[in-house]
Structure 1
Amino acid sequence: MKNWLFSTRPISKDIGIFILRVGAALMMLTHDWDKLSNYSAKLMTFSDPLGIGSALSLQLAILAEFFCAILLALGLMTRLSLVPLMITMLVAGFVAHAADPFPAKEKAFLFLVIFIVLFLLGPGKYSVDGQLNRPRRY
């Protein structure tokens, strides 16, 4: 029992990556659903942290937080889909909420850490990428 509890070998790395990938993607989707479903109302109030206009800022946030999150959940083009998500969380944490206290930017930093870990680990075996790249047996 002691060897199992303190072992550094994973029980199942691929299942862990799957849970982290899908869980983070679903939480990001629910976080962004309000922006997508109330687009017109959000357009009037969305911030412009990079000086590119609030409409473009909102569209880029929706692209990353909704559409890239769907790709992340599927594990399709995983590392590529993580790049806009990481950039969005960097902007949210360091630019949009720069003057806010830490609890206001904590969620952005938590998502950023998860996305960095997934970028480094890859999508895992239980993903579309993993199935497309598995060795073929003929």
Structure 2
Amino acid sequence: MTRAFSQPPRVNAGLFFLRLTGCLLLLYVHGLPKVFHFSEELTRIEDPFGLGPWMSLLPAIFAEVICPLFILTGVFARLACLPIIGVLLVAMLAVHPGWSIAEGQFGWLLLIIFTTLALTGPGQWRLGAVAPAEVPHGAG
């Protein structure tokens, strides 16, 4: 019965590659610059809901730094995708609604990556994963 629910190695490799590359891109391009240049980011961040720069920047840092670390490890990966998806939707639909697909392609691609991971989960190549039990040949 265990074999019926296990994924082929290439699927696990693909999900790991998607997690790794998506998270590293999000961290490098968006997350880490917000942390390393926090004061400057407070003066530049858009505030689409009028909550102030701190309440706009802190959720973005959570979604773009903390959540990718969970996804990279595969721990609470589906749950960690939700704040990222939320921040990306706000960015694409509320902050930059006038952008063409070409102008917002990076954001849309990140949205595709993290929505896919939210739907599929992290795969079996993750911290704390238990290898599927071997089923003897001919059984099952």
TM-score (structure 2 length as normaliser): 0.82
Q: Secondary structure at the match of 1:102?
A: coil
User: What's the counterpart of residue 54 of structure 1?
Assistant: 53
Structure 1 residue 30: Cα displacement:
0.1
Q: Determine if the alignment matches structure 1 residue 28 to structure 2 residue 5.
A: no
Structure 1 residue 104: Cα displacement:
2.5
Where do 5+ consecutive residues of structure 2 fail to align? 1-7, 135-140
Structure 1 residue 11: Cα displacement:
6.8
One-letter code aligned to 2:27:
L
User: What's the counterpart of residue 42 of structure 2?
Assistant: 43
Q: Aligned residues: percent identity? A: 31
Structure 1 residue 54: Cα displacement:
1.6
Q: Distance in 1 between matches of 2:9 and 2:125?
A: 15
Q: Distance in 1 between matches of 2:50 and 2:104?
A: 20
User: Where is the helix percentage greater, Structure 1 or Structure 2?
Assistant: 1
Distance 1:50 1:134, change over 3 A: farther
Q: Secondary structure at the match of 2:102?
A: helix
Structure 1 residue 96: Cα displacement:
1.0
Partner deviation per Cα, 1:64-98 (whole Å, 9 max, x = no partner): 00110111111111011000011011111111111
C-alpha RMSD of the superposition: 1.9
Q: Secondary structure at the match of 1:94?
A: helix
Q: Distance in 1 between matches of 2:38 and 2:56?
A: 12
Is contact 1:82–1:115 with CA below 8 Å preserved after alignment? yes
Q: Distance in 1 between matches of 2:16 and 2:43?
A: 37
Where do 5+ consecutive residues of structure 1 fail to align? 1-9
Is contact 1:97–1:104 with CA below 8 Å preserved after alignment? no
